Structure 1
């Protein structure tokens, strides 16, 4: 199964983000195909799933952050790890 990366660029709405953060995290925690996720130092979000692009795109359409208007841009793409210590640890 492929690894699918989702990169969120957020709108600058800190109060709205705080209001919907728990629902966003609960949504992601409920995804059995989620491998890793978290914020980046530039204020974006990076999510890593196992699956196929079309399925992941459909799944993240249900993210409460999207419904709240917090996601300014979303990029979804396949990622192929080649080197690194996590590759073997994660069985990639």
Structure 2
């Protein structure tokens, strides 16, 4: 397996994001329990970028990493404006392989 860094850029719809957040977190929590989500958390908006998230996944390839998140409630509800998936190779720290 490899580590993939997935970034979300959220749609600007704070009310719908707030309403869907519990289901989104439950979805990611289940993937964490299954050993697929290594860590996940929000990327707060700043002057250079809108709000989003960073999710580190354990997956065999980019296609599988994308597929793991296809049913994310945020994505199903159209709240993910942009998603990127890139392999990440940690060489120092607790995630180094």
- Unpaired segments ≥5 residues, structure 2: 46-50
Please report the TM-score for the alignment, with normalisation by the length of structure 1: 0.88
How far apart are the structure 1 equivalents of 2:62 and 2:12?
Answer: 27
Q: CA RMSD in A?
A: 1.2
Task: Give the number of equivalent residue pairs.
Answer: 88
Stretches of structure 1 that go unaligned for 5 or more consecutive residues are none
- The equivalent position to 2:64 in structure 1, one of 13, 31, 55, is 55
Contact 2:74 2:80 in 1 (8 A): yes
CA offsets 1:25-45 (integer angstroms, 9 cap, x no match)? 000011120000000133110
Q: Superposition pairs for residues 42-81 of structure 1, below 5 Å?
A: 42=45, 43-51=51-59, 52-81=61-90
Q: Segments of 4+ in structure 1 off by > 2 A?
A: 89-92
The two structures have a TM-score, normalised by structure 2, of: 0.84
